[in-house]
Amino acid sequence: MRRVSESFACAPGLKLEAHERLSKLQFDAIDARLERMEALIERLERRLWLTVYGVAAVILTQAFQGFLNALPGAQ
C-alpha cells in the first residue's frame, strides 16, 4: 500500500518555519523527559533519606539498649 503524504512546500521561508516547528517539538520532548527524570530523582532522594534515617534510628536504638543494659540493677 502506497502512503500518500502531503506535499512539502520548499520556499526558503517555509523550510525555516518547518525547521523551527520541528526544533520546538524536539525541545518540548526533551523538556518533558527532563521533568520526568527530575521527578524520578526526587523520589529516589526521598527514599535514600528514609533509608538513612532508618539506619540511624536502628543504631541509636541499639546504643540506647546498650546503655540500659549497662546500668546497675538492670536485669
- Among 3-7, 13-17, 35-39, 54-58, the minimum mean pLDDT is found in 3-7
Average pLDDT, integer, range 58-73: 90
Residues 74/68, Cβ–Cβ less than 8 Å = yes
Whether the per-residue pLDDT at 9 is higher than 70: the answer is no
**Cα–Cα distance measured from residue 23 to residue 37, given in angstroms and rounded to the nearest whole number:** 21
pLDDT at 15: 82
Residue pair 8/18 in contact (Cβ under 8 Å)? The answer is: yes
Rounded Cα–Cα distance for residues 49 and 55 (Å): 10
Tell me what the mean pLDDT of segment 14-19 comes to.
Answer: 84
Question: What pTM, to 2 d.p., does this model score?
Answer: 0.59
- Nine-digit cell at 18? 518547518
